[in-house]
């Protein structure tokens, strides 16, 4: 028998980050039957209704650790990738703190695409064939020799925008030059990965991982291009839906855990790296089965905003078990007959040049639906836009049709100058048939 550390009576929880994903985590935690004391750094005006927001940036590692220790946090949940890349989870664990988020070494699955490839290769995990380059001339020569189509990826973190799916040789060469000569992605593009094009529908499968036990969440689908019909440049995500019923019906969730997640974690462990956090697997369902497009070392955004609303267990129980290593003994239950759809309201000019400072008007409460706040701030008491993805609106129903109706009805009641959204999120989602 393992000894479980019990959840304190009034647990103090710090959520690091201030986007719609972190708002959704706070919103779900706030549904707990327990008396939670929620804190957010830095949080946002929406999270401020649920949490005490402290003005510490998600990348200010020393300040975050000082705050968590001084305020005796019982649990820290790390939302974004930057603090993971900077070693926040390691620094907190050194102080004996329970943390949801992998170490800096484990987070390299996300922060270095070439590291992730190398691990997958050793683990025998299906993924696109790829080569990594640090000088533009060799990258160009490879592109010329290989021919289009090709996918060109900045190695490091690029806010979801470092990938070009090049259909022609000219596009592939331009993408190499942009990353390596133009330094569009800064140091993240000093190394590029050039990989084969995979074809098929995409699925995001996030898993709770406590170092040992892997518990998959419901599968979701993100919509990355900015425009309807998947047109225009890629964004951080314009909307999502969950669950992906056809994926579950084919048993692909279990297949991905067995053939992709477990071998990847075992390969890390052989290098002395334990993974404790959420592992996001971005998949392409190819003709020969699921293949990995990318790993993220955290909850996905906007997937989290559709997956957590379908969780029936208390999220605190799950995250507590994850951070304390006893997920194997914890029930993780999901709604079995509900569909969730979220739609991102984006700022004028997003993704290239998002404009900020536009006044947002929103219906007072949430009868119409739930709004997760992202690029928003308060100025003289008024809610204004402060980033590219402004709000993520949620609809939940007994079918995708019902969930879509709800979220798009809600969207018509929210206004800011220059706002835009996709009108086809979940339009092709397969309804539950079993
Ligand atoms: P990533 O940032 O790695 O998720 O890539 C962004 C998007 O580019 C993905 O969601 C896919 O739509 C596309 N993509 C990435 N890698 C490939 C690939 N090897 N083949 C086809 N599409 C890809
Ligand atoms: N939705 C993709 C991501 O979170 O990076």
- For residue 388, pLDDT over 60 is answered with yes
> What integer pLDDT is reported at residue 434 of this predicted model?
63
Distance separating alpha carbons of residues 68 and 9, to the nearest angstrom: 18
Which of 248-262, 342-356, 366-380 is predicted with the least confidence, judged by mean pLDDT? 366-380
Across the range 224-244, mean pLDDT stands at 94
Across the range 290-304, mean pLDDT stands at 97
**Given ligand 1 and candidates 153, 164, 165, 195, which is best to mutate, with the most ligand atoms within 8 Å of its CB?**
165
The helix (H) or strand (E) run that includes residue 390 is strand 389-397
Ligand 1 geometric centre to CA of 166 (Å): 11
Across the range 76-99, mean pLDDT stands at 98
Q: CA nearest 22: which of 101, 124, 133, 131?
A: 101
Which of 116-125, 126-135, 261-270, 319-328 is predicted with the least confidence, judged by mean pLDDT? 126-135
Tokens 């603090």, located at residue: 83
Across the range 138-164, mean pLDDT stands at 81
Distance separating alpha carbons of residues 99 and 32, to the nearest angstrom: 18
Please state, as a whole number, how many other Cβ atoms lie within 10 Å of the Cβ of residue 62. 10
Distance separating alpha carbons of residues 142 and 133, to the nearest angstrom: 9
Q: How far is CA 21 from CA 60, 70, 280, 342, 414, in A?
A: 19, 26, 13, 11, 19
271's CB contacts (< 8 A; 6+ apart) are: none
Q: Which one of the ligands is nearest to 201 CA?
A: 1
Half-sphere exposure of 170 (CA within 13 A, CB side): 0
Strands 37-42 and 52-53: parallel
Q: Which atom of ligand 2 is nearest to the CA of 160?
A: 5
Half-sphere exposure of 76 (CA within 13 A, CB side): 31
> What integer pLDDT is reported at residue 159 of this predicted model?
65
> What integer pLDDT is reported at residue 173 of this predicted model?
87
The helix (H) or strand (E) run that includes residue 405 is helix 400-411
Distance separating alpha carbons of residues 403 and 332, to the nearest angstrom: 23
Maximal CA-CA distance, the chain? 63
Cβ(172)–Cβ(150) below 8 Å: yes
Instruction: Measure CA of the first residue to CA of the last residue in the chain; give whole Å.
Output: 38
Domains of the chain from N-terminus onward: 12-100 (3.40.50.20), 135-190 (3.30.1490.20), 199-329 (3.30.470.20), 339-411 (3.90.600.10)
> What integer pLDDT is reported at residue 423 of this predicted model?
98
- For residue 184, pLDDT over 80 is answered with no
- Angle, CA of 283, 103 and 126, to the nearest 5°: 25
Cβ(181)–Cβ(187) below 8 Å: no
Q: What percent of the chain has pLDDT over 70?
A: 96
Backbone angles phi, psi at 342, to 5 degrees: -125, 145
Confidence of residue 1 (pLDDT cuts 50, 70, 90): very low
| Gyration radius of the chain over CA positions | 21
Confidence of residue 4 (pLDDT cuts 50, 70, 90): confident
Which of 132-141, 222-231, 242-251 is predicted with the least confidence, judged by mean pLDDT? 132-141
Looking at ligand 1, which residue's alpha carbon is closest to its atom 16?
Answer: 293
> What integer pLDDT is reported at residue 91 of this predicted model?
98
The strand order across the sheet containing 214-216 reads 214-216, 202-210, 276-286, 289-296
Q: CA nearest 14: which of 59, 60, 72?
A: 72
Residue 208, classed as helix, strand or coil, is: strand
Instruction: Give the residues surrounding ligand 2 with Cβ less than 6 Å away.
Output: 160, 222, 237, 296, 300-301, 303
Q: What percent of the chain has pLDDT over 90?
A: 81
- For residue 20, pLDDT over 60 is answered with yes
- The rounded Cα 69 to chain-centroid distance in angstroms is 27
**Given ligand 2 and candidates 159, 226, 296, 374, which is best to mutate, with the most ligand atoms within 8 Å of its CB?**
296
Confidence of residue 364 (pLDDT cuts 50, 70, 90): confident
């Amino acid at each position: 028998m393992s000894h479980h550390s019990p959840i304190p009576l009034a647990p103090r929880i710090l959520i690091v980050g201030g986007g719609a994903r972190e708002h959704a985590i706070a919103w779900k935690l706030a549904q707990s039957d327990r008396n939670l004391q929620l804190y957010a750094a830095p949080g946002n005006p929406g999270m401020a209704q649920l949490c005490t927001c402290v003005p510490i940036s998600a990348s200010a590692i020393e300040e975050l650790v000082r705050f968590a220790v001084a305020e005796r946090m019982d649990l820290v949940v790390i939302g974004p990738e930057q603090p993971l890349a900077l070693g926040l989870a390691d620094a907190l664990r050194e102080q004996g703190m329970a943390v949801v988020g992998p170490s800096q070494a484990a987070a390299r699955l996300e922060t270095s695409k070439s590291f992730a490839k190398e691990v997958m290769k050793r683990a025998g995990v299906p993924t696109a064939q790829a080569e990594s380059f640090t000088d533009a001339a060799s990258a160009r020569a490879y592109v010329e020799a290989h021919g289009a189509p090709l996918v060109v990826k900045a190695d490091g973190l690029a806010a979801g925008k470092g990938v070009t799916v090049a259909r022609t040789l000219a596009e592939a060469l331009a993408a190499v030059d942009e990353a390596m000569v133009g330094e569009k992605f800064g140091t993240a593009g000093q190394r590029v990965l050039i990989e084969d094009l995979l074809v098929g529908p995409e699925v995001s499968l996030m898993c709770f991982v406590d170092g040992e036990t892997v518990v998959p969440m419901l599968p979701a689908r993100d919509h990355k291009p900015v425009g309807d019909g998947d047109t225009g440049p890629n964004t951080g995500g314009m909307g999502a839906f969950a669950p992906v019923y056809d994926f579950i019906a084919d048993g692909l969730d279990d297949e991905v855990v067995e053939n992709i997640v477990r071998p990847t974690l075992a390969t890390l462990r052989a290098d002395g790296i334990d993974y404790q956090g959420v592992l996001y697997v971005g998949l392409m369902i190819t003709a020969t089965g699921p293949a990995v497009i990318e790993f993220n070392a955290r909850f996905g955004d906007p997937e989290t905003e559709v997956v957590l609303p379908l969780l029936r267990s208390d999220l605190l129980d799950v995250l507590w078990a994850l951070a304390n290593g006893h997920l194997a003994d914890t029930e993780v239950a999901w709604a079995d007959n509900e569909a969730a759809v979220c739609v991102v309201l984006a700022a004028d000019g997003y993704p290239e040049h998002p404009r900020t400072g536009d006044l947002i008007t929103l219906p007072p409460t949430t009868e119409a639906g739930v709004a997760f706040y992202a690029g928003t701030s308060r100025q003289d008491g008024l809610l204004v836009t402060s980033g590219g993805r402004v709000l993520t609106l949620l609809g939940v129903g007994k079918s995708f049709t019902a969930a879509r109706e709800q979220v798009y009805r809600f969207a018509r009641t929210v206004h800011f100058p220059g706002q835009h959204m996709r009108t086809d999120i979940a339009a092709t989602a397969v309804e539950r048939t079993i």
